[in-house]
């Protein structure tokens, strides 16, 4: 096999691009332990960065403690240091800590200039986030004016990460009408400040009062609310973390339920503190009576990857060609997946364990080929998993400590004694990835992955699903650079009847192409193989391994960009095709697809959620065709189209994270997950927008009564990413989950429609209301709901808490569409006086054919604004710090205009609330 191609990865690109987290955080006596903060390998060596991280956490801990009413603090933190940084005696080898499970990533901005701190959140209100992102410039305290002090921002992001709360500001809509008055979107509503706009022309800028849009009644575009520097209000950290007086989260006592922000939309108008109070963290703690200790830190430096394969060769491995399939998957891992420079050993086991290979460093194709020859060729005996694990520990310890080493454990057999080595596994510090093969693999197997942070996968005996190869192909390093990672472009299988040809295509896009491998497997005899590159040239040189029933071809150099065509011919057997590649360049991030389920276990009738993240660098890929294939132990496969539409299971529209509910349980036991993603002419990278789940970018601040402006966010130049459109093909393993409580067929309908989360309302004409939302389904986001119930009220809490008693709109003519379709409904409010200054609140509930009801939707609002019939007035002079109260009524504004004309340059203080 050709040798792995090494390269220096010089692009400023987070190593964790695409990764999905599996946090090690635990709460112990009010203190958070196991926090992992990782410095990306592409960050230039700078020892001061380590101290700056320590300072941030140390200062954030007492701030968090007071903000949570003396309930939580930061107890200990591990800082992951890149391998290429200088070695120091105080830097020790990590155990379970990896870049993949890091809670905070410190990476160079990508694209440059984008220093927004933010937290990736995939789930709904109250669900933990994935990861916090900071840049070195932010950690160094160089973004103080833009975001505020870093320890305060850290607590803001921690609330996103740990408790699943959302922001209380809104970059898209900064003001709203309430009872005819203009209000800034903020929490609490007693935060005071100035409403001003900066107007620049010819290099000169002035600050003036905001004009009123006579159509909407709101302020003009570009108007900003700048909080006053002197405040009495203490809340809320999720709105203005930069204000010195703000030291708490909004509670039900001061929460602004009317503000159109994410927290209200996603958390059913609940305050931040109410969501925190409902968390497991809160329920398992009581307030402390003493001050907490300062955080402690451990400095961990990444080292070379150490992997030991622990492979079952018991008698049951002879069933269903399992041993042959193990050889195929093992060879893919050894020849292609495992990274250059890694140390790899091998152990096989039945009743006893046998060392097939001590640790060998992968430096060449010769090393890889030598290991493939050690894969097991015969199977017999029983199953003793702990014996295999102990032997692997011995193999590793002959050269290295087991801390941070990885074990890939494959078994198809039952073993009731597996739990006897759980303590040894915990104490070893090793990470164990488990591969369950077939329906009888030990039921406790996944516990080994869960306790060590490893990947858990399942492969059925349906060879055409290619599950075993997918499982081994997913085992790229948790600490390897993106440019070194093996990327799966294709994974398909067919069971052929008679003599027939299978024709297909694989896209090699410009972001991949190095070390490209085409792998074909069969079950009876070698097929005819034809492969043409994008220029139409026939590719020869497939290496045929008749013993393992596989053939493979590595494309020399960098594979040509474009569509590769293949044709396979065989008779009455099963074929599979797998194509893998690596990044084409050290300066261009590859398109990556990573997938996961929201939980490791699913209990009927609770739905599961499948996620797929598709990004290129930090740019989300939009418009891709994304499909999840979920296979049960029965061998049945369900196909789900995943969506990035901000509805149903999808938390945020157009963020490159595609998702969907899974409800099609058919049996108890393991389910495997695979995702296929295709990019075509409608697929595009999106210019990064201000992060929805990050600390508020401060447009300006007040100093000595005068507004000081920050520069606007830097525009992103996409020229270095070779245009906006991208065509690609990818497949990725989403691991596995275990289902329980599934009743016998026929499965009863226990799934209601999903909650509508994107309801929007606007005034149409003088008195009509236009509603839009994404249609839910009969079962969550699948199928078609039976009917809608629309309730309206002039009291937002009455609508939320007493929806059934609200005024209901006539929906006789409103027939639900298929899930994910756009619904539009226009109605005239009746039975409610809808006049100037009226605020009307609207919510929708979906009902299915067996009368199961969804949760009440997010609450949309409209405010009727009828502009005063006054003649146009001469513009008043620009004032640097004008007096303008955002909750003033239209007559008040008219009076103020007269006052401004009369008083001239007189400056008045501003008070909101």
Higher pLDDT, 481 or 675: 675
Contact indicator for 462, 437 with CB cutoff of 8 Å: no
Residues sharing a CB contact under 8 Å with residue 721, sequence separation 6 or more, in sequence order = 588, 616, 617, 619, 685
- For residue 111, cis peptide bond before it (omega within 30 degrees of 0): yes
Element (H, E) at 372: helix 365-372
Confidence bin at 872 (pLDDT 50/70/90): low
- Whether 265 has a pLDDT exceeding 90, the answer reads yes
Measured CA to CA in angstroms, residue 146 lies from 226, 241, 357, 889 at distances of 13, 11, 55, 32
Measured CA to CA in angstroms, residue 404 lies from 207, 705, 743 at distances of 56, 55, 41
Q: What is the pLDDT of residues 816-870, one digit of tens each?
A: 999 999 999 999 998 888 888 899 999 999 999 999 999 999 999 999 887 776 5
Q: For residue 712, what is the DSSP state?
A: P
Confidence bin at 687 (pLDDT 50/70/90): low
Please report the pLDDT score of residue 874 as a whole number.
54
Could you give the count of Cα atoms lying within 13 Å of 223 in the half-sphere of its Cβ? 24
Element (H, E) at 565: strand 562-571
- Taking the C-alpha atoms of 592, 593, 599 and 604 in order, what is their torsion angle to the nearest 10 degrees? 180
Measured CA to CA in angstroms, residue 531 lies from 58, 336, 539 at distances of 59, 20, 5
Q: Is the dihedral of CA 250, 256, 260, 264 positive or negative?
A: positive
- Active-site position among 120, 157, 168, 183: 157
Please report the pLDDT score of residue 20 as a whole number.
58
Measured CA to CA in angstroms, residue 518 lies from 170, 532, 747 at distances of 48, 12, 41
Q: For residue 316, what is the DSSP state?
A: G
Q: What percent of the chain has pLDDT over 70?
A: 91
Q: Are strands 431-437 and 550-554 parallel, antiparallel or unpaired?
A: unpaired
> Distance (Å, rounded) from C-alpha 524 to C-alpha 549?
8
Nearest CA-CA partner of 350 in 322, 320, 376: 376
The pTM of the full predicted model, rounded to 2 decimals, is 0.90
Average pLDDT of the residues in 472-476: 95
> Distance (Å, rounded) from C-alpha 95 to C-alpha 405?
8
Token readout for 472 is 């081994």
Measured CA to CA in angstroms, residue 562 lies from 512, 536, 673, 743 at distances of 11, 11, 28, 48
Q: In 10 A of CB 557, how many CB atoms?
A: 11
Could you give the count of Cα atoms lying within 13 Å of 849 in the half-sphere of its Cβ? 7
Backbone phi and psi for residue 44, each to the nearest 5 degrees, phi listed first: -60, 145
Does the annotation mark 83 as catalytic?
Answer: no
Confidence bin at 361 (pLDDT 50/70/90): very high
> Distance (Å, rounded) from C-alpha 561 to C-alpha 590?
13
- Whether 297 has a pLDDT exceeding 80, the answer reads yes
Contact indicator for 168, 259 with CB cutoff of 8 Å: yes
Q: 654: alpha, beta or left, given left = phi > 0 and alpha = psi -120 to 50?
A: left
Average pLDDT of the residues in 798-817: 97
Indicate the average pLDDT of the chain. Answer: 90
Token readout for 813 is 């003519």
> Distance (Å, rounded) from C-alpha 389 to C-alpha 397?
12
| Domains in the chain, CATH or no CATH each | 26-167+276-301 (no CATH), 304-321+332-461 (3.40.50.410), 481-586 (2.60.120.380), 589-686+723-748 (2.60.40.1930), 760-864 (2.60.40.10)
Q: What is the pLDDT of residues 193-228, one digit of tens each?
A: 999 999 999 889 999 999 999 888 999 999 999 999
- Whether 771 has a pLDDT exceeding 60, the answer reads yes
Q: What is the pLDDT of residues 781-801, one digit of tens each?
A: 999 999 999 999 999 999 999
Strand order in the sheet with 822-827: 760-764, 768-774, 822-827
Please report the pLDDT score of residue 767 as a whole number.
83
3-state secondary structure of 264: helix
> Distance (Å, rounded) from C-alpha 561 to C-alpha 298?
45
- Taking the C-alpha atoms of 106, 107, 111 and 114 in order, what is their torsion angle to the nearest 10 degrees? 30
3-state secondary structure of 287: coil
- Whether 689 has a pLDDT exceeding 90, the answer reads no
Query: What is the DSSP track for 456-478?
Result: EEEE-S-GGG-HHHHHHHT---S
Q: What is the pLDDT of residues 440-459, one digit of tens each?
A: 999 999 999 999 999 999 99
Query: What is the DSSP track for 570-626?
Result: EESSEEEEEEEEEES-TTSPPEEEEEEES-SEEETTSPEEEEEEEEETTEEEES-EE
Q: Give the E-state strand segments of 350-498 in sequence order.
A: 353-361, 406-411, 431-437, 456-459, 487-495
Q: What is the pLDDT of residues 387-436, one digit of tens each?
A: 999 999 999 999 999 999 999 999 999 999 999 999 999 999 999 999 99
Q: Are strands 700-703 and 706-709 parallel, antiparallel or unpaired?
A: antiparallel
Contact indicator for 382, 314 with CB cutoff of 8 Å: yes
């Amino acid at each position: 096999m050709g040798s792995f191609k090494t390269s220096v990865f010089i692009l400023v690109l987070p190593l964790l691009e695409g990764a999905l987290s599996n946090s090690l955080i635990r709460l112990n006596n009010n203190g958070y332990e196991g926090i992992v903060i990782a410095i990306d390998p592409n960050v230039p060596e700078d020892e001061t960065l380590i101290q700056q991280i320590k300072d941030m956490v140390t200062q954030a801990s007492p701030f968090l403690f007071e903000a949570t009413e003396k309930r939580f603090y930061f107890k200990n933190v591990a800082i992951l240091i890149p391998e290429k940084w200088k070695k120091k005696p105080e830097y020790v080898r990590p155990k379970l800590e990896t870049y993949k499970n890091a809670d905070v990533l410190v990476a160079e901005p990508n694209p440059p200039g984008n220093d927004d701190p933010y937290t990736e959140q995939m789930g709904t209100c109250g669900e933990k986030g994935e990861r916090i992102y900071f840049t070195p410039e932010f950690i160094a305290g160089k973004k103080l004016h833009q975001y505020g002090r870093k320890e305060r921002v850290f607590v803001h992001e921690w609330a996103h990460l740990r408790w699943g709360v959302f922001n209380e500001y809104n970059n898209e809509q900064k003001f709203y009408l309430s009872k005819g008055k203009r209000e800034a979107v903020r929490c609490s509503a007693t935060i005071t400040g100035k409403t001003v706009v900066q107007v620049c022309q010819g290099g000169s800028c002035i600050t003036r009062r905001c004009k009123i849009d006579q159509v909407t009644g709101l302020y003009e575009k570009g108007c900003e609310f700048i909080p006053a520097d002197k405040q009495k209000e203490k809340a809320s950290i999720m709105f203005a973390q930069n204000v010195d007086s703000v030291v708490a989260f909004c509670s039900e006592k001061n929460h602004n339920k009317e503000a159109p922000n994410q927290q209200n939309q996603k958390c059913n108008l609940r305050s931040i503190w109410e969501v925190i109070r409902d968390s497991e963290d809160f329920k398992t703690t009581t307030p402390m009576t003493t001050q907490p200790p300062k955080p402690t830190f451990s400095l961990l430096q990444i080292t070379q990857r150490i992997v030991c394969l622990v492979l079952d060769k018991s008698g049951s491995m002879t069933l269903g060609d399992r041993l042959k399939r193990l050889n195929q998957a093992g060879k893919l891992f050894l020849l292609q997946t495992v990274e250059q420079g890694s140390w790899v050993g091998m152990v096989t086991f039945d009743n006893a364990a046998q060392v097939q290979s001590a640790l060998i460093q992968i430096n060449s194709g010769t090393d890889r080929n030598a290991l493939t020859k050690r894969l097991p060729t015969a199977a017999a005996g029983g199953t003793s998993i702990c014996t295999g694990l102990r032997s692997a520990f011995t193999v590793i310890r002959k050269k290295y400590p087991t801390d941070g080493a990885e074990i890939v454990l494959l078994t198809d057999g039952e073993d009731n004694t597996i739990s006897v080595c759980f303590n040894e596994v915990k104490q070893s510090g090793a990470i164990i990835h488990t591969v369950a093969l077939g329906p009888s693999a030990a039921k406790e197997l996944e516990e080994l992955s869960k306790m060590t942070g490893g990947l858990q996968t399942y492969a059925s005996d349906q060879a055409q699903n290619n599950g075993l190869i997918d499982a081994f192909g997913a085992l790229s390093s948790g600490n390897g650079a993106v440019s070194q990672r093996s990327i799966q472009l294709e994974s398909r299988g067919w069971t052929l009847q008679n003599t027939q040809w299978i024709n297909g295509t694989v896209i090699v896009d410009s972001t991949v192409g190095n070390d490209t491998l085409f792998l074909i497997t069969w079950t009876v005899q070698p097929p005819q193989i034809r492969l043409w590159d994008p220029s139409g040239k026939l590719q020869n040189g497939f290496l045929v391994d008749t013993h393992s029933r596989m053939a493979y071809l590595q494309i020399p150099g960098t594979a040509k960009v474009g569509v590769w065509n293949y044709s396979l011919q065989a008779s009455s057997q099963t074929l599979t095709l797998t194509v893998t590649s690596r990044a084409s360049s050290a300066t261009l991030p590859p398109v990556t697809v990573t997938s996961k389920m929201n939980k490791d276990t699913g209990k009927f009738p609770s739905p599961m959620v499948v996620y797929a993240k598709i990004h290129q660098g930090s740019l989300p890929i939009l418009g891709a065709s994304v499909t999840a294939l979920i296979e049960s132990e029965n061998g049945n496969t369900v196909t789900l189209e995943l969506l990035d539409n901000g509805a149903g299971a999808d938390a945020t529209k157009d963020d490159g994270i595609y998702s969907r509910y899974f409800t099609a349980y058919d049996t108890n036991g393991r389910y495997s997950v695979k995702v296929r993603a295709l990019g075509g002419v409608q697929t595009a990278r999106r210019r990064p927008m201000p992060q929805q789940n990050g600390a508020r970018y401060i447009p300006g601040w007040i100093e000595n009564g005068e507004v000081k402006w920050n520069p606007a966010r830097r525009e992103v130049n996409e020229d270095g990413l070779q245009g906006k459109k991208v065509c690609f093909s990818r497949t990725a393993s989403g691991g596995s989950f275990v289902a329980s409580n599934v009743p016998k067929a026929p499965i009863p309908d226990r799934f209601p429609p999903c909650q509508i989360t994107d309801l929007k309302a606007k005034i149409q004409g003088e008195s009509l209301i236009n509603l839009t939302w994404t249609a839910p389904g009969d079962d969550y986001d699948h199928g078609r709901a039976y009917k809608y119930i629309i309730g309206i009220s002039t009291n937002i809490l009455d609508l939320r808490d007493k929806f059934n008693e609200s005024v209901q709109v006539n929906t006789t003519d409103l027939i639900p569409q298929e899930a994910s379709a756009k619904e539009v409904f226009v109605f005239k409010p009746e039975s409610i006086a809808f006049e100037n200054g009226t605020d009307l609140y609207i919510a929708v509930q979906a009902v299915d054919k067996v009368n199961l009801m969804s949760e009440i939707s997010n609450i949309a609002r409209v405010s009727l604004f009828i502009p005063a019939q006054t003649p146009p007035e001469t513009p008043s002079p620009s004032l640097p710090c004008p007096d303008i109260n955002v909750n003033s009524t239209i007559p008040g504004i008219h009076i103020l205009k007269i006052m401004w004309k009369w008083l001239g340059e007189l400056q008045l203080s501003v008070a909101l609330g």
